[in-house]
Structure 1
Amino acid sequence: MPPKASKKDGEPAERPILGRFSSHLKIGIVGLPNVGKSTFFNIVTKLSIPAENFPFCTIEPNEARVHVPDERFDYLCQLFKPKSEVAAYLEINDIAGLVRGASAGEGLGNAFLSHIRAVDGIFHVLRAFEDTEITHIDDTVDPVRDLETITQELRLKDIEFVQAKIDDLEKAMKRSNDKQLKIDHELCQRIMTHLQDGKDLRLGEWKAAEIEILNTFQLLTAKPVVYLVNMSEKDYLRKKNKFLPKIHAWVKEHGGETIIPFSCAFEQKLVDMPEDEAAGKYRQEGKTYVVQDGDIIFFKFNVSGGGKK
């Protein structure tokens, strides 16, 4: 066998990936009320679900499948000409807004949190725009406060679930000497300590055997997250926003996952335009410009006639 490649000095250890692996994944759109979740869902899926200016406009989650284009898949189909072609798709769920106290049932929180448990990953939408005509459930716009609210509610719900699991395991251990019960119990205690320390489970260090057990729990803070920062059209086009540095600092401190700034208002304008007008003003086929700053990804537009969405 060839020798194992040694890690470079200072290279960060790769975190284990929790969850299932499939070409058909389910993503939940999560955030406070009135941050742009339903509008984002409509833009991505090209549907027209209600997106109103009041909390809990969405009650039951809206679902849609979005085709995932892949030139490699098209090439292989052309090459081998299979009898059936099943392309990958992303199932997107627009989940109702969470509020402070959701883990204790506030704002129909228990139902909404159960919807999050059913998905494989999370699009966490943050409001980074000010608009007096669009109310904020906390009256003022503060994306970092909103981040703290959502992550704490997810963590509290996981603590509730894990505590119930520990209680069930302790009862079962009194009736049985099954070694697996003890293994599960020890893992649940580690999970509980991790959560009570204010840490999300996807950011912990878990062994392969532990990950197999963790995946059966479908815990909310174990799910991978992409942060979608919804800015005003003006801020998005000039790539400046007063909230973005604070959001970036918070995310770096809490796992350093991907941040994608975007603008629902701008994207909606493109969707509502006739295709030829949008293509002439904002898109140029074959060219995509991506500007990266750490883990912040901007999709750059040239309003005067270049740049592809």
Structure 2
Amino acid sequence: MKKRCIALLFAAVLLLTGCQPTYNENDPNYPGGTMGEQNDTHGNTENKDNQYDTDYGVTGDDNLGNENITTAAGVDAEKLSGLSTESKDWGPGGPKDEKNRSQGALLYNKTYGGYNAVFLSEQSEEVYMTFDEGYEYGLSGDILDTLKEKGVKAMFFITGDFAKSEPELVQRMIDEGHVVGNHSWKHPNYSGLSVEEAEQDLMQLHNYMKENFNYEMKYFRFPSGNFSERALAEVQQLGYRSVFWSFAYKDWLTDAQPGEAESLQKIVDSACPGMIYLLHAVSTTNANILGQVIDGVAAKGFTWGDPSKL
């Protein structure tokens, strides 16, 4: 009788746990799992610590221990100490809802929105264009020309290298009404940094932009989409909103560009209310099809929103 009760209890536990949705990193429904190209960002398919150094030419000459670093809001290390440092990778794979919105993005909004992070703008019917700018490949001017022609504002996430080497492009972004976001000084993996290191890296670019362009940065994008709960909270404490994305694809390899027709269809077909597009400005494909992307998404009934409202 005792053995039978134990067996029944074990069966009940299995039944209850089996009814719960579970995710793992190899499950195609996992919000941060591998879902093919739409889940790709620079570094998600390679060694995260070395991908940017290889592709974007970071030299490592800059000193993260800059004694002149000042903070926008200051960090309360005690409040951060109890938060998880588990590394998480973001990619908007998985199933879509009836509005074509990534359920992974909606779940992450719910899970991490309290840290002033957004993966998809649920309160908006508009769509938003963002670009990551690790280095200049001679295409940013063309991209800005197209945006100006179409009357669309974008958010450009730049690194320290880009800010230092391309002041005219940065100034043009500002002058033409685009948002310039903080993509870190040296593109490190933030979940692997100490509180002090993360603050120094983020604030080094923040202060550089303030001193050289009189521009106050407000939006942050984690390098390679890699973050932790503690890193999210720290970025929030520094006065920033973390902007992730609802669409990205493998567009950053300059010598292995995706086809233009396929890319255009993929980008336009992914449109949904509140969509945050991530495109890389080193992509010749993106530069060539940008005007068609803007028109194609608009033809589906969507309005391109002002990213400063995100």
Question: Could you tell me the TM-score, scaled by structure 1's length?
Answer: 0.30
Higher RCO (Cα < 8 Å, 6 or more apart): 2
Q: Which has the larger radius of gyration?
A: 1
Higher percent of residues as strand: 1
Question: Could you tell me the TM-score, scaled by structure 2's length?
Answer: 0.30
